């Protein structure tokens, strides 16, 4: 994995190169950061902002998860 910062927000996820997603997920799991990220994405899915909801949906898809 190239030096990619671990995502903490929905928009950060979209900056992770597709080839690095598995390693980023492993790193998040190892550092116990996946739960916090998923909580943030879930909160974004509940947002009043359509743009934020779309970003959250795209982040889930980018990570390989269904909404």
- In this prediction, residue 29 carries a pLDDT of 95
Residue 25's domain comprises 20-63
CA 30 to chain centre: 15
Whether 12 is covered by a domain: the verdict is no
Cβ 33 vs Cβ 17: under 8 Å? no
Straight-line distance from the first to the last Cα atom of the chain, in angstroms, rounded to the nearest whole number: 26
CB atoms within 10 A of CB 24: 22
Q: What is the pLDDT of residue 5?
A: 83
* Token duo for residue 53: 């909801």
Give the pLDDT of residue 66: 79
Q: How many domains does the chain have?
A: 1
Asked, for residue 3, whether it belongs to a domain, the answer is no
Average confidence (pLDDT) per 10 residues, the chain, 67 residues: 80 95 96 96 98 98 88
CB atoms within 10 A of CB 45: 17
Q: What is the pTM of this model?
A: 0.89
């Amino acid at each position: 994995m190239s030096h990619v910062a671990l995502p903490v927000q929905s928009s950060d996820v979209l900056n992770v190169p597709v080839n690095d997603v598995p390693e980023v997920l492993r790193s998040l799991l190892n550092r116990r950061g996946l739960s916090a990220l998923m909580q943030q994405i879930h909160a974004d899915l509940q947002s009043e902002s359509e743009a934020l909801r779309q970003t959250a949906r795209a982040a889930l898809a980018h990570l390989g998860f269904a909404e």
